[in-house]
């Protein structure tokens, strides 16, 4: 017996109406009627992904968002979350990102209204794919300054590799079962994920594309993420990645905490990454059967498992809540800097933070070094020499890094571990010590970033050996530094 059908049909209407609903530019293609559970109809077409992505997103960090695919108006239940019968015969499913009893400011959940619930799948089985690990003892620790050349992207003709098979763990600490830790991954791929999706049971992915665009389909809708943008796919959210050629990037994974905006303190109410600039996708669904099998991949306790189902998981017609994927463009960051003298600490460049239970101590910070003005007087303006109780992994999206113009390349990285000395190379020191101090632009055309953690990070065997990208001459950039000490000249 079929369920009662609320709103007998999803009205056929033009993309002109769609554009008014979610802010898309006018597209004259008609939108077909959509089949409903218990309401047999035919389908002639569905909206193309690029048409959906040409529109706007919803904005706001951590907001209570509401979205429904305009092909099915009224799909969200009114006044309640879990009615006896949902509109259009949909299933109600809650996705929880926090314990039910967390205080309201940290309570995260969304309600999804979908054609079939996520529970409809075959049993999970181990999947031997990719190069993920959380075995931080597979190789002896290395306290040296480490730098990697750009990580190689395989050629499609030789080795087809999608986002999942191209994941490589570089370093990390902690353990996902204990819900405390982080991992830094590199992804390199040359083909899209076809009829398969991934979700992370262990934690959140902060994804930093360096080369190539990512078209990410999630249960909440679609996001196009380009270099100089980031996105966050939170724990449990299913997603697939389409690419358009050779693609590379970085991932910061956190276990046991979600990313949030840093406290601003004396900065005030405005500054750094503004909440309004974070974008959330709008609802988009496909009612697609996959007779050949759709593969759902779970990253669970650091390992991959796969289950089969015969339908697309992107069947969420409507949703509401504050637990969502989101993206952010790094050029929108409002830079704070020293304007009189001295070099401010890099914490002023924090975009997102995942906190620990210790006040002011981050499990992980995502920090950027964007274009800005340098105006400090009587000051050595590049980053100072430093020994830190935190671990610092740096990557480069484009351009060059101000403290090391040679050797540190886009698509590569560096790791300065706890209390390992680091700072400007010899060439940078000599130039900055003699430079005429005038207002100048710093880091134009570049974007370097840092994953900083209070944990002591171990590098994997892949990072130190298998990748074959470790720059064994990194230490030599400081060898030309010489003593300028003269006790007779102050």
Binding residues for homogentisate: 401, 422
Task: Provide the annotated binding site.
Answer: 386, 392, 401, 422
CB atoms within 10 A of CB 56: 12
Q: 474 phi and psi, to 5 degrees? A: -55, -40
CB atoms within 10 A of CB 96: 15
182 CB-near residues (< 8 Å, 6+ apart): 172, 173, 174, 252, 253, 254, 255, 354, 363, 364, 451, 453, 455, 457
Closest to 249 measured CA to CA, from 217, 207, 215: 207
Alpha carbon distance 134, 176 (integer Å) = 8
What distance lies between CA 329 and its chain's CA centroid?
A: 11
Alpha carbon distance 288, 293 (integer Å) = 11
Alpha carbon distance 163, 197 (integer Å) = 10
Q: What is the DSSP string of 427-441?
A: HHHHHHHH-----EE
Known catalytic membership, residue 6: no
Instruction: Dig out the tokens for 414 from the structure.
Output: 């560096």
What distance lies between CA 482 and its chain's CA centroid?
A: 41
Alpha carbon distance 412, 407 (integer Å) = 9
Q: Which residue reads 């669904």 in tokens?
A: 285
Rg value, the chain, Cα? 24
Name the active-site residue from 343, 400, 416, 484: 343
CA count, 13 A, side-chain hemisphere, 385: 7
Cβ pair 7, 74 in contact under 8 A: yes
Task: Provide the annotated binding site for Fe cation.
Answer: 386, 392, 422
Alpha carbon distance 306, 128 (integer Å) = 10
Would you name the residues annotated as active-site residues?
343
């Amino acid at each position: 017996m079929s369920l009662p059908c609320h709103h007998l049909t999803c009205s056929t209407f033009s993309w002109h109406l769609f554009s008014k609903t979610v802010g898309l530019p006018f597209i004259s293609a008609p939108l077909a009627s959509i089949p409903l559970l218990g309401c047999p109809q035919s389908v002639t077409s569905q909206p193309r992904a690029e048409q959906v992505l040409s529109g706007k997103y919803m904005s706001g960090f951590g907001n209570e968002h509401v979205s429904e695919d305009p092909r099915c108006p009224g799909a969200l239940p009114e006044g309640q979350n879990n009615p006896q019968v949902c509109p259009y015969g949909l299933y109600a499913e809650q996705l929880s990102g926090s314990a039910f009893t967390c205080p309201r400011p940290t309570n995260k959940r969304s309600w999804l209204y979908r054609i079939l619930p996520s529970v409809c799948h075959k049993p999970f089985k181990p999947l031997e794919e990719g190069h993920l690990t959380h075995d931080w003892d597979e190789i002896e620790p290395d306290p040296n300054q480490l730098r990697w050349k750009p990580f190689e992207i395989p050629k499609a003709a030789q080795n087809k590799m999608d986002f999942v098979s191209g994941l490589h763990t570089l370093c990390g600490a902690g353990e996902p079962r204990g819900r405390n830790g982080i991992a830094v991954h590199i992804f390199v791929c040359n083909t899209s994920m076809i009829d398969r999706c991934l979700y992370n049971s262990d934690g959140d992915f902060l994804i930093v594309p360096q080369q190539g665009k990512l078209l990410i389909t999630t249960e909440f809708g679609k996001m196009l993420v380009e270099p100089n943008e980031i996105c966050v796919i939170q724990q449990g959210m299913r997603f697939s990645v389409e690419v358009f050629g050779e693609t590379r990037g970085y991932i910061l994974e956190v276990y046991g905490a979600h990313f949030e905006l840093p406290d601003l303190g004396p900065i005030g109410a405005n500054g750094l990454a503004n909440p309004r600039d974070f974008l959330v996708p709008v609802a988009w669904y496909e009612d697609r059967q996959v007779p050949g099998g759709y593969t759902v991949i779970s990253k669970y306790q650091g390992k991959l498992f796969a289950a089969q189902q015969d339908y697309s998981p992107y069947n969420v017609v409507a949703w509401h809540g504050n637990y969502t994927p989101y993206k952010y463009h790094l050029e929108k960051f409002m830079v704070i800097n020293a304007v009189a003298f001295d070099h401010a600490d890099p914490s002023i460049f924090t975009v997102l933070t995942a906190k620990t239970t210790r006040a002011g101590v981050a499990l992980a910070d995502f920090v950027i070094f964007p274009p800005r003005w340098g105006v400090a007087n009587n000051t050595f303006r590049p980053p100072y020499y430093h020994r830190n109780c935190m671990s610092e992994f740096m990557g480069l999206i484009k351009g060059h890094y101000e403290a090391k113009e040679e050797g540190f390349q886009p698509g590569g990285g560096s790791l300065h571990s706890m209390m390992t000395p680091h700072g400007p190379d010899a060439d940078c020191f000599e130039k900055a010590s003699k430079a005429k101090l005038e207002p100048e632009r710093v880091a134009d055309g570049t974007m370097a970033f840092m994953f900083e953690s209070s944990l002591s990070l171990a590098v994997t065997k892949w990072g130190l050996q298998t990748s074959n990208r470790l720059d064994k001459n990194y230490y030599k950039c400081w060898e030309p530094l010489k003593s300028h000490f003269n006790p007779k000249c102050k």
